[in-house]
Structure 1
Amino acid sequence: MSNDQDKGKAKDLKGSAKETLGKATGDKDTERSGKADQAEGKAQQAFGKAKDAVSGKK
């Protein structure tokens, strides 16, 4: 697993926590920010997977 995949997974988890916190407190901005962090994390994970595929890593 690449550094990009690790960082992406961390962003995804952070976003999930923020979204949950936003829902629990009724804070729509925090909820939206969490969803955005999750999307960014998923994109970074996909980039890392693609980069690994090109370089031949698993």
Structure 2
Amino acid sequence: MNSDTTKGNWKQIKGEFKEKYGRITNDESTEAEGSFDKLVGEIQEKYGETREAIEKEVKSW
């Protein structure tokens, strides 16, 4: 397990919190940001790549 994998796991937790907080406060942008963070975290945990590389790839979709 490398540090990018650990960071990915933390990013998933943080993303889930943002999603739930966004739903509670009806803040759609926070909820969407949480979903994006969660996605990046899952990819980062699975493949161990840097956050920047994953975000660049996802945004190019």
TM-score, length-scaled by structure 1: 0.78
Identity across aligned pairs (percent)? 40
What's the RMSD between the two structures over aligned residues?
A: 0.7
Aligned partner letter, 1:33:
E
Give the whole-Å Cα distance in 1 for the aligned partners of 2:28 and 2:34: 10
Q: Report the equivalent of 2:15.
A: 15
Extract unaligned runs of 5+ from structure 2. 49-61
Q: Distance in 2 between matches of 1:39 and 1:5?
A: 13
TM-score, normalization: structure 2? 0.74
Shift >3 Å, 4+ stretches? none
Query: Greater relative contact order (Cα 8 A, min sep 6): structure 1 or 2?
Result: 1
> 1:25 is matched by which residue type in structure 2?
T
Larger Rg: 1
Distance 2:20 2:2 in 1: 27
Q: Structure 1: where are the runs of 5+ without partners?
A: 49-58
